[in-house]
Amino acid sequence: MTSYFVDKDISLAKTIHTDFYTDLKVYDMSKEKIFAAGLHYVGDLDMLPEKGSVIPLLLHEGFLDEPIILLRDKDDKITCMSNVCTHRGNILVTEPCKISQLRCVYHGRTFNLNGEVIFMPEFKEVQNYPCKEDNLSSIQVFQWGKLLFVSLRSKTQPKDYFGDMMHRMSFFPMAELVRRDDLSRDYVVNANWALYCENYLEGFHIPFVHQGLSEVLDFGDYETELYYPYSSLQLGVAKNTLDTFDLPKDAFDYGRNIAAYYFWVFPNMMFNFYPWGLSLNIISPLATDKTKVSFITYMYDESKYNVGAGSDLDRVEMEDEEIITNVQKGVKSRFYTQGRYSVKREKGTHHFHRLLTRFINE
């Protein structure tokens, strides 16, 4: 397998080796080394309307395939834990419901809403039972406004991923967002997940690929800000004051014509803030050359919907997909292994590649 290296000096660096997009071993390694180590969107508070509400989820179906449950416990706290019985591995919850305890239908092992085993038939003779391993594994939950995220690794620090974005968007009404499934959509792209992310992470292609978007955004004023260690921002400044944020005086960008905030969080989440709300994009690997892209719409002000930079997102997606699928074909070429970065325009992609090499080499 190729040893991956991207120089920290972008002016000297070459892009990540193309094996990263094509090697099945790298794809499999990224499950544990990259994705299992990060934070993942799992839904919002509206999914759990009352105490005892529980919903089963399969985290990144087709890739991580980790069975988990989200629940609102008797103290009104949102928690997450493994959805696998510690006796013989049966799935505990198969559909959203309201419960007072978790009971496995296979052999009757029962857990309280904290995940502690409280009953098991025919286990009187078993020594050293129950022990810590008989309880359900607890999974870290992070909440921002209504949105819920989980990490499979307890050492993951949410502030390293979300802190800068939360500070910059402190004016935005996260708690008032309403998920709109009628305006949400999944796309399947015939390309590696990392190619999709790195395309998102640079506005370099906007004048060449997105004619409609370039008519709204001032490319000369388009900025990329790197937030270390695990996020970045592309700031979409409008050519005029139409369809821009009405920012309060204490907002960081007060006085500027901001049409969109494009935040990326490693490895696979994109938070696109518009005056109407949030388009949350989740990138899910399906194969070395296939990716599911979920556009999840959270509405705040529908009167501002589908105008300005946040309009016709489906068309923008189709334009991106056409380019990315061509790149997937190109990275398989015998005559291409690495490229170079624009120091001014591709800082976000360079940052992403540096993270990929760090995680995959660990």
CB 224 within 8 A of CB 232: yes
Q: How many C-beta neighbours within 10 Å does residue 121 have?
A: 9
Q: What is the pLDDT of residues 48-100, one digit of tens each?
A: 999 999 999 999 999 999 999 999 999 999 999 999 999 999 999 999 999 99
Q: Are residues 62 and 131 in the same domain?
A: yes
d(CA 263, CA 269): 8
Percent of the chain predicted with pLDDT > 70: 99
pTM above 0.75, yes or no: yes
Q: Same structural domain for residues 213 and 350?
A: yes
Residue 14 lies in a domain: no
Query: Is residue 112 located within the same domain as residue 26?
Result: no
Q: How far apart are CA 362 and CA 358, in angstroms?
A: 6
Residue 8 is assigned to a structural domain of this protein: no
Count of helices and strands (H, E) across the chain: 8, 18
pLDDT digits (tens, 9 = 90+) for 155-194: 999 999 999 999 999 999 999 999 999 999 999 999 999 9
For residue 1, being part of any structural domain is answered with: no
Q: Are residues 167 and 310 in the same domain?
A: yes
CATH code of the domain containing 121: 2.102.10.10
In the chain, how many domains are there? 2
The verdict on residue 13 lying in a domain is: no
| Res. 245: pLDDT tops 60 | yes
The dihedral through the CA atoms of 243, 246, 252, 257 has a sign that is positive
Are 342 and 267 in a shared domain?
yes
Residues 115 and 262 reside in one and the same domain: no
SS3 112: coil
Shared-domain flag, residues 85 and 171: no
Mean pLDDT, range 264-275, rounded to an integer: 98
On the question of pLDDT at 2 being above 70, the answer is no
Beta bridge mates, 341? none
Residue 35 tokens, joined: 């994705």
pLDDT on residue 1? 56
Of the candidates 152, 202, 195, the residue with the CA atom closest to the CA atom of residue 285:
195
| 134 shares its domain with 175 | no
Q: Are residues 79 and 207 in the same domain?
A: no
Same domain, 215 and 285: yes
Residue with tokens 């395939």: 65
pLDDT tens-digit readout, 338-354:
999 999 999 999 999 99
Domain boundary among 114, 140, 155: 155
Residue 2 domain-assigned (yes or no)? no
Which residue among 155, 173, 196 closes a domain?
155
Query: Residue 207 sits in a domain of what CATH number?
Result: 3.90.380.10
Does any domain span residue 9? no
pLDDT, tens digit, for every residue of 109-139? 999 999 999 999 999 999 999 999 999 999 9
The residue among 94, 120, 155 that closes a domain is 155
Say if residue 122 is in the same domain as residue 197: no
* 11 lies in some domain: no
Would 12 be classed as within a structural domain? no
Average pLDDT score, the chain: 96
Domain residues for the domain of 230 are 19-37+162-361
Tell me, yes or no, whether 193 and 333 share the same domain: yes
